[in-house]
Amino acid sequence: MSTPRTTAYGDQQPEAPDGELRTRRTAPGDAQDGPTAFDSKTAHARLDGFTDDELKQITLVPEGSQLEQGATYLDLLDPTGGEIVGTTDLVADDAHLYVAKRAVDFGLWNRLRGVDDPDRLNQPNAPDQGEGTG
Protein backbone atom coordinates (compact mmCIF):
# COMPACT_ATOMS: atom_id res chain seq x y z
CA MET A 1 0.00 0.00 0.00
CA SER A 2 1.33 3.43 -0.91
CA THR A 3 1.92 6.18 1.58
CA PRO A 4 0.12 9.47 0.96
CA ARG A 5 2.27 12.57 0.56
CA THR A 6 1.19 15.86 2.06
CA THR A 7 0.97 18.85 -0.29
CA ALA A 8 1.79 22.45 0.58
CA TYR A 9 -1.82 22.95 1.66
CA GLY A 10 -1.91 20.02 4.05
CA ASP A 11 -4.06 17.74 1.90
CA GLN A 12 -2.86 14.27 1.12
CA GLN A 13 -2.48 12.84 -2.34
CA PRO A 14 -1.97 9.08 -2.61
CA GLU A 15 0.72 7.89 -4.94
CA ALA A 16 -0.33 6.34 -8.21
CA PRO A 17 0.25 2.57 -8.54
CA ASP A 18 3.51 3.16 -10.42
CA GLY A 19 4.89 5.20 -7.51
CA GLU A 20 4.40 8.61 -9.17
CA LEU A 21 2.67 11.29 -7.16
CA ARG A 22 -0.72 12.17 -8.60
CA THR A 23 -0.91 15.83 -9.48
CA ARG A 24 -3.54 18.11 -10.89
CA ARG A 25 -2.94 20.31 -13.91
CA THR A 26 -2.23 23.86 -12.81
CA ALA A 27 -1.73 27.12 -14.58
CA PRO A 28 -0.29 30.39 -13.29
CA GLY A 29 -2.68 31.72 -10.66
CA ASP A 30 -4.76 28.53 -10.81
CA ALA A 31 -7.05 29.05 -7.88
CA GLN A 32 -8.45 25.53 -7.98
CA ASP A 33 -5.58 24.29 -5.81
CA GLY A 34 -5.60 27.14 -3.32
CA PRO A 35 -7.10 27.55 0.10
CA THR A 36 -10.74 28.58 0.36
CA ALA A 37 -12.28 31.66 1.94
CA PHE A 38 -13.44 29.31 4.70
CA ASP A 39 -9.77 28.65 5.55
CA SER A 40 -8.88 32.35 5.83
CA LYS A 41 -9.84 34.32 8.95
CA THR A 42 -9.48 37.54 6.98
CA ALA A 43 -11.80 36.32 4.22
CA HIS A 44 -14.24 34.97 6.81
CA ALA A 45 -14.47 38.43 8.40
CA ARG A 46 -14.74 40.23 5.05
CA LEU A 47 -17.49 37.89 3.79
CA ASP A 48 -19.59 37.74 6.95
CA GLY A 49 -22.85 37.42 4.97
CA PHE A 50 -21.75 34.16 3.33
CA THR A 51 -22.48 30.71 4.75
CA ASP A 52 -19.69 28.27 5.57
CA ASP A 53 -20.70 26.16 2.56
CA GLU A 54 -20.42 29.22 0.30
CA LEU A 55 -17.03 30.16 1.78
CA LYS A 56 -15.79 26.64 1.02
CA GLN A 57 -16.71 27.20 -2.65
CA ILE A 58 -14.62 30.39 -2.92
CA THR A 59 -11.07 29.33 -3.72
CA LEU A 60 -8.32 31.86 -3.09
CA VAL A 61 -5.24 32.19 -5.28
CA PRO A 62 -2.37 30.80 -3.17
CA GLU A 63 0.15 33.31 -1.87
CA GLY A 64 3.17 33.46 -4.15
CA SER A 65 1.20 32.43 -7.25
CA GLN A 66 1.46 34.55 -10.37
CA LEU A 67 -1.90 35.72 -11.72
CA GLU A 68 -2.77 34.43 -15.16
CA GLN A 69 -2.38 36.94 -17.99
CA GLY A 70 -5.83 38.19 -19.07
CA ALA A 71 -7.81 36.25 -16.44
CA THR A 72 -10.34 38.11 -14.28
CA TYR A 73 -9.94 38.34 -10.51
CA LEU A 74 -11.38 40.09 -7.47
CA ASP A 75 -9.28 41.15 -4.52
CA LEU A 76 -11.40 40.51 -1.42
CA LEU A 77 -9.33 43.09 0.46
CA ASP A 78 -10.02 45.86 -2.08
CA PRO A 79 -12.86 48.00 -0.68
CA THR A 80 -13.88 49.16 -4.17
CA GLY A 81 -14.61 45.56 -5.16
CA GLY A 82 -13.66 46.09 -8.78
CA GLU A 83 -12.52 43.37 -11.13
CA ILE A 84 -8.80 43.03 -11.86
CA VAL A 85 -7.34 41.66 -15.07
CA GLY A 86 -4.30 39.51 -14.39
CA THR A 87 -0.90 40.49 -15.73
CA THR A 88 2.36 38.60 -15.54
CA ASP A 89 3.74 41.01 -12.94
CA LEU A 90 0.88 40.47 -10.46
CA VAL A 91 1.62 37.92 -7.75
CA ALA A 92 -0.66 36.96 -4.86
CA ASP A 93 0.80 38.17 -1.58
CA ASP A 94 -0.37 38.73 2.00
CA ALA A 95 -1.75 42.18 1.09
CA HIS A 96 -4.31 40.65 -1.30
CA LEU A 97 -6.91 37.89 -1.32
CA TYR A 98 -7.44 37.14 -5.00
CA VAL A 99 -10.33 35.05 -6.29
CA ALA A 100 -10.29 33.94 -9.93
CA LYS A 101 -13.59 34.38 -11.76
CA ARG A 102 -13.26 30.95 -13.32
CA ALA A 103 -12.94 29.36 -9.86
CA VAL A 104 -16.44 30.25 -8.62
CA ASP A 105 -19.92 29.97 -10.07
CA PHE A 106 -21.52 33.11 -11.47
CA GLY A 107 -23.94 33.54 -8.56
CA LEU A 108 -21.14 33.64 -6.00
CA TRP A 109 -19.01 35.81 -8.28
CA ASN A 110 -21.79 38.38 -8.54
CA ARG A 111 -22.35 38.33 -4.76
CA LEU A 112 -18.64 38.92 -4.25
CA ARG A 113 -18.95 41.92 -6.58
CA GLY A 114 -21.88 43.30 -4.55
CA VAL A 115 -24.62 42.46 -7.06
CA ASP A 116 -27.99 41.93 -5.39
CA ASP A 117 -30.30 41.25 -8.37
CA PRO A 118 -31.75 37.70 -7.85
CA ASP A 119 -31.57 37.01 -11.61
CA ARG A 120 -27.81 37.54 -11.50
CA LEU A 121 -27.32 35.55 -8.30
CA ASN A 122 -28.86 32.29 -9.52
CA GLN A 123 -31.66 32.69 -6.98
CA PRO A 124 -35.40 32.51 -7.51
CA ASN A 125 -37.18 35.82 -7.85
CA ALA A 126 -39.28 36.95 -4.93
CA PRO A 127 -43.00 36.79 -5.69
CA ASP A 128 -44.62 40.06 -6.69
CA GLN A 129 -46.22 41.62 -3.64
CA GLY A 130 -48.32 44.32 -5.25
CA GLU A 131 -50.21 42.50 -7.98
CA GLY A 132 -53.55 40.89 -7.33
CA THR A 133 -55.26 38.21 -9.34
CA GLY A 134 -58.60 38.68 -10.60
Domain boundaries of the chain, sorted by first residue: 23-113
Summarize the confidence of residues 78-104 as an average pLDDT: 92
Q: Report which DSSP code applies to 54.
A: H
Please give the model's pTM, rounded to 2 decimal places. 0.65
Query: Quick one: pLDDT band at residue 124, thresholds 50, 70, 90?
Result: low
CA distance 15 to 23: 9
Give per-residue pLDDT as tens, 23-54. Answer: 333 444 444 567 999 999 999 999 989 999 99
Whether 6 shows a pLDDT value over 70: the answer reads no
Alpha helix positions (H), the chain: 41-46, 52-56, 106-112
CA distance 18 to 10: 23
Mean pLDDT of the chain: 75
